[in-house]
Structure 1
Amino acid sequence: MIALALTGSILLASAALVIALWLIGFPALSPPTSGLSLTVLLDLVKISFGVTAGAGAVIAVIVAYRRQKVVEAAELRAEATEQREVTKLFNERYSSAGEMLGHDSPAVRLAAIQALAALADDAPTHQLRQMVIDVLCAYLRMPQWTSETKDIPQADRIFIEGHREVRHAIIRAIASRLQEGTAVSWKGHDLDLTRVVFDGGDFSGAVFSARSINFSGAMFTAGRTSFARARFASGNVGFNQAKFSGGEVEFTGAEFEDCNLWFHGASFEGAKVYFNGAKFRGGITYFNFARFISGSVNFQWAELSGGVIDFHFAEFQGSSITLDDAKFMGAKVTFLGAKDWSTPPSFPKHGTVGLILPKGFPDSSSDLKEGSG
């Protein structure tokens, strides 16, 4: 390519000189007094080589450009080939782990969980990682059995316990990758945990920052499920129609920052739910149409510093709801429209700016007036 360009430049220089001489009639070389002087001839040669140099520069640019395009095309082909190989390997690992997840043996399924979690860590794109997370969440949504059920044969009880261990392995895999400083983060990925039965699980310190975190219809039946010190940042977090029927659910020290937290229609029927020291900063927390039947919900030392906490149309029938020592620091906390106020929450005697009590029901504190703040 370079030799061809050099040859072309020489030919172009020669052609330029010939054309210049032709334009002036091919005069004879003579002394300076007549004809074509040596000085003029040399000037013509300089001009021809100048033209050639310019043309050569253009040719060099064109050659370099074409060479660059060839290199880029080769790199793109190499990248595409590598991507195909990565995707092929991903699909092979995905299929293999999926088959293991359907195995009868809990040990094999536990290995499948580890394989899927590692596969999600290695996923080349956000979409592929989300696909693996969706599979793990789907397993949690499968119908659950409890070993507390009476008259279960021993073999079935062993199967149920093995199935429970697999489910808890998934919860640990997800929670560990939502921590600050983890090597591979799953923060920013949606979690569809609708209708999942929780008989324990530890999400302590997790960061939920995806567009959608959905626990709607989940059932918290036993054990200890912890969201202690978790941070819910932006997006929507749904516990709509969730049922808190047993065990303990902790939001102790959790932070809710500009997110919409939904407990719409949730039922509190025996579990102990703790929001002690939780921080509500902006956003809206909905407890509308929630039913507080038994158990306890504790907001002691919670910081209510922004946004709205809405108990519209909630029913307070028997749960012990404690806001004693809660810090009302600017959030609007409204109980207007409560459908049942027979077992009202307890409030601090003073410093309840932003608290709005229901109209037409007795106050739970002698210092609080209807619609007061």
Structure 2
Amino acid sequence: MTTEPPTPDPLGPAPLPDSPPLSLLTYRPPVVPAEELPVLSHRAMAWAAGALVVLGVGLAVGLLVAFGGGGHADQLDAIKTAGTIVVGAGGAAALWLTARRQRTSELSLNQVRAAHAATVADAEARRITDLYGKAADQLGSPQAPARLAGLYALERLAQDNPAQRQTIVDLLCAYLRMPYTPPRREPAPPSVARPSGVPRPLLSGPARQRASVRLAPPAPRGGTPSATEAEQEYQVRRTAQAILFRHLVYGTEDGPVSTFWADISLDLVGAVLGPANLIGCRVVAVDFTNVTFTGDVWFDRTRFGLSAVFTGARFTGEAGFSHARFDHDVRFGRVTFDGDARFAEADFGGSAKFDRADFRGPAVFTGAKFSQAASFADARFGDRAEFDKARFVQGWFGGARFGGNAFFTHSEFSAYASFKEVRFAGAFTQFGNATLASSEFFTAEFGRNTDFTETRFTGDASFTMAKFPEGVEFVRTEFGDVNFGGTRFALFAAFTEAKFAGVTRFYECHFGDRAEFQRTRFAADVWFENTEFADIAVFGAAEFGGSARFLHTRFGDVGGFARARFDGDVFFDDVRFDGPVGFVGARFARPLRIERVWVRLTGHKRKLETDSTWPPGTVIRVPGEADPLPEGWGVLELEEAAE
């Protein structure tokens, strides 16, 4: 009865390998045995000798039969010829055996050399393993000098053995990831003057005890053992960090320096690092998740080949990434910058995420380039934020808070810009000369002195429910389709010489102060529906290329349309003018459409406002004694309707 092997459980533990595990330090492929050479047997040699004898006899007989009939001389020549042929064949066989013997000797020599090389490699591997093990043991020593010696031994080992560099870097990173609390450096206590006087041995009793206490020398200054150990560990970690980072410096454009370690990745998750200088470094990938940098750190001109992760990290000092290059994705989500954060001229080749990042100091992204999506969703900018001349493909700032000044002058968003629910609380919010494709400012709140001068909106723009508590300037701004639905302008709003190339909507807007649309050009249809101008509204010399609709709109103080040009249909439906109105020099290419336009009268209810000038072909109907119109108001009508 045969027993079948049991079926392996797919959910059970994996079977152990037949071969022992490879060393973590040195990997060598398995040795493939060389092909065995054929051995020349005795039987083969006997057959070869017999063949030579048969060949010689056969040749001799054949030659004698063919040429031996003439006499003894001919027979002798035939035998000599046969012997010569046999001797030549034997010589050829001997030459073949000599060549075979030479080849065997060379193969043996190669095997000896290979064995010697393997022996040397094994000795080198054992030496590396011994050095690595001793250095690792030194790192675990309670004595700081021993740990320092282990670090320098590992550095030398990695410098001399490029194949071991990543392994040694991983060991250094693991050491820096160990739990650690930096020492507290408290100011030294003031020096205490030693009491003067001389010993008085003749005193006895309580007097002597008091004197001994008074005359005792002060305790020697110095930290407790725990504080001393913390300071020593701090120095050891500084050394490990310096060794790790100085070998990542590439060198110059001409080529790397001899101390550069190529193709290195860093895993420092949760580590506590001191001040770091990584200017000009090159790494494959880094993971600084939840790392705490306790001092200034500089990554200027550093190149990150693959992913760079800084999620949850904290920079207690300045953080410099100027001219840094990120070839792939980078993550700065939930990062805290206590000091300045400088990303000037940084190049982000992949996506960049700064979601919920906290910039407590100035954030400088001047001239930064984002080749893919860049997200600053729910980020906090406590100080000024500089994005001047930054280039975005897609920029997401939804829910961000700008506590200081925000500068986006000359910036570019080539595909999309989202500022949904953003709060600008600084004194200045500048978008002057910026270029934005499709953009969204839904429910955004702007601070003081908001400037969009000469900004270009090349796609759809939405300012729905946005709030401008103080002045805003859209002077010479260019729009495509734009929606200002529900926007609140608390103080002046200047759209002087702005250009609206697409459909424009001012739906349920409120202008609390002066609204200027002088020399503004509306190339397509424009709606002012349910909009209120609480103060002066100036449309002087404005051009309306499409239809212009003023529906359910209220003009508070002054409504000025002097020299305005209307090339399309014009609708004034349910409009109220509370103050003077001016249409001097206004031109209408099509008949004006008026319905329920209310005009406030001054003085006596039957007297019109003398400063007002109305469109040609219109009259003001003054209410009579029995007219149902409210007191103090008239109705603007077309002359034909009035007749």
Quick check: 1:136 aligned with 2:204?
no
Paired residue for 2:341, among 256, 262, 273? 273
Map Cα deviations across residues 302-332 of structure 1 (whole Å, 9 max, x no partner): 3x1x632521634235353311244x3xx52
> Cα offset for 1:50?
4.6
Q: Equivalents in 2 of 1:345, 1:39: separation in Å?
A: 119
Amino acid at match of 2:269: T
1:104 Cα deviation after fit: 3.0
Aligned to 1:241: 312
Compared CA separation, residues 21 and 189, structure 1 to 2 (3 A): same
Q: Is the 8 A contact 2:376 2:400 kept in 1?
A: no
Q: 1:154 aligns with which of 223, 242, 248?
A: 223
Shift of 1:31: 5.8
Alignment of 1:226-305 (within 5 A): 226-232=298-304, 234-244=305-315, 246-256=316-326, 258-263=327-332, 265-280=333-348, 282-287=349-354, 289-302=355-368, 304=369
Q: Which residue of 2 aligns with 1:69?
A: 107
State the SS of the aligned residue for 1:307: strand
Flag the 1:191–1:346 CA change in 2: closer, same or farther, 3 A: same
Partner Cα separation in structure 1 for residue 69 and residue 393 of structure 2: 103
Which structure 2 residues correspond to residues 69-148 of structure 1 after superposition, within 5 A?
69-123=107-161, 126=163, 128-148=164-184
TM-score, normalization by structure 1: 0.78
| Counterparts in 2 of 1:119 and 1:182: CA distance versus 1, 3 Å | same
Q: What letter corresponds to residue 349 of structure 1 in structure 2?
A: T
Does residue 33 (structure 1) correspond to residue 103 (structure 2)? The answer is no
Larger Rg: 2
- Retained in 1: the 8 A contact 2:320–2:343? yes
What is the distance in 1 between the residues matched to 2:98 and 2:387? 79
Output the CA distance in 2 between the equivalents of 1:345 and 1:24. Answer: 116
Cα deviations by residue, 1:160-202 (Å, 9 ceiling, x for unpaired) = 2222221111121122222233334422132211111123011
CA contact (8 A) 1:272 1:295 kept: yes
CA contact (8 A) 2:59 2:82 kept: no
- Aligned equivalent of 1:225: 297
2:93 & 2:106 partners in 1: Cα distance?
20
Q: 1:340 to 1:353 in 2, by over 3 A?
A: closer
Task: Check whether the contact 2:320–2:342 (CA below 8 A) recurs between aligned residues.
Answer: yes
Residue correspondences, number: 349
Match of 1:166 among 231, 236, 245: 236
Distance change >3 Å, CA 47–CA 239, structure 1 → 2: farther
Counterpart AA for 1:261: V
Whole-Å separation in 2 of the counterparts to 1:310 and 1:344: 21
TM-score by length of 2: 0.48
Would you say the 8 A contact 1:140–1:167 is kept in 2? yes
Q: CA, structure 1 residues 351+133, in 2 after alignment: closer, same or farther (shift >3 Å)?
A: closer
Equivalents in 2 of 1:260, 1:45: separation in Å? 86
1:3 maps to which residue? none
Alpha-carbon distance between aligned partners in 2 of 1:236 and 1:325, rounded to the nearest angstrom: 25
Contact map agreement 2:55 2:86 (CA 8 A) in 1: no
Q: Which has the higher helix share?
A: 1
What secondary structure does 1:332 align onto?
strand
Output the CA distance in 2 between the equivalents of 1:255 and 1:193: 20
Unaligned runs of 5+ residues in structure 1 are 1-7
Higher relative contact order (CA 8 A, sep 6+): 1
Once the two structures are superposed, residues 123-148 of structure 1 have per-residue CA deviations (whole angstroms, 9 ceiling, x without a partner) of 3x62x433222221111112222233
Q: What is the distance in 2 between the residues matched to 1:37 and 1:314?
A: 116
> 1:304-343 residue pairs with structure 2 within 5 A?
304=369, 307-311=371-375, 313-316=377-380, 318-326=382-390, 328=391, 332-335=393-396, 338-343=398-403
Shift of the 12–269 alpha-carbon distance from structure 1 to 2, 3 Å rule, reads closer
> What letter corresponds to residue 168 of structure 1 in structure 2?
R
Distance in 1, Cα, partners of 2:71 & 2:127: 84
1:279/1:340 CA distance change after superposition, 3 Å: closer
Amino acid at match of 1:97: A
CA contact (8 A) 1:32 1:38 kept: no
Measure the CA separation in 2 of the matches of 1:283 and 1:343. 28
Q: 2:268 aligns with which of 193, 201, 211?
A: 193
Q: Quick check: 1:220–1:249 contact (8 Å CA) kept in 2?
A: no
Q: Could you say if the C-alpha distance between residues 348 and 355 of structure 1 is closer, same or farther in structure 2, counting changes exceeding 3 Å?
A: farther
Hey, what's the Cα distance between the residues in 2 that align with 1:299 and 1:269? Answer: 14
Are the equivalent residues in 2 in contact too, given 1:316–1:342 (CA < 8 A)?
yes
Code of the aligned partner of 1:67:
S
Q: Which has the higher strand share?
A: 2
In 2, the alpha carbon distance for the partners of 1:38 and 1:284 equals: 99
- The DSSP-based 3-state class of the residue aligned with 2:248 is coil
Instruction: Report which stretch shifted further, 104-113 or 147-156.
Output: 147-156
- Please report how far the alpha carbon of residue 205 of structure 1 lies from its aligned counterpart in structure 2 after TM superposition: 1.6
Q: Which amino acid aligns with 1:178?
A: L
Residues 285, 131 of structure 1: alpha-carbon distance in 2 compared, 3 angstrom cutoff:
same
Q: CA deviation at 1:27?
A: 6.2
How many angstroms does 1:24 deviate by?
Answer: 5.6
Q: Once the two structures are superposed, what CA deviation does each residue of 1:332-371 show, in whole Å capped at 9, x if it has no partner?
A: 24216x2334548834423514373215346854455525
Q: Secondary structure at the match of 1:148?
A: coil
Cα deviations across residues 203-242 of structure 1 (Å, max 9, x unaligned)? 122111x3x3211221123x2211122222x222221222
Secondary structure of the corresponding residue to residue 340 of structure 2: strand
Indicate whether 1:354 and 2:429 are aligned: no
Cα distance change, pair 249–37 in 1 and its aligned pair in 2 (3 A): farther
SS of residue paired to 1:310: strand
AA aligned to 1:308 is Q
- Percent of pairs with identical residues: 22
**SS of residue in 1 equivalent to 2:339:** strand
User: Over aligned residue pairs, what C-alpha RMSD do you find?
Assistant: 3.6
The answer for the alignment partner of 2:257 in structure 1 is: 182
Deviation at 1:120, TM superposition (A): 2.0
**CA separation of 1:23 and 1:83: change in aligned 2, threshold 3 A:** same
Other structure's SS at 1:354 match: strand
Aligned equivalents of 2:59 and 2:68: distance in 1?
Answer: 20
Contact 1:198 1:225 in 2 (8 A): no
Using the TM superposition, give the Cα deviation of residue 283 of structure 1 relative to its aligned residue in structure 2, in angstroms.
Answer: 2.8
What residue identity is the alignment partner of 2:171? V
Q: Is the 8 A contact 2:389 2:412 kept in 1?
A: no
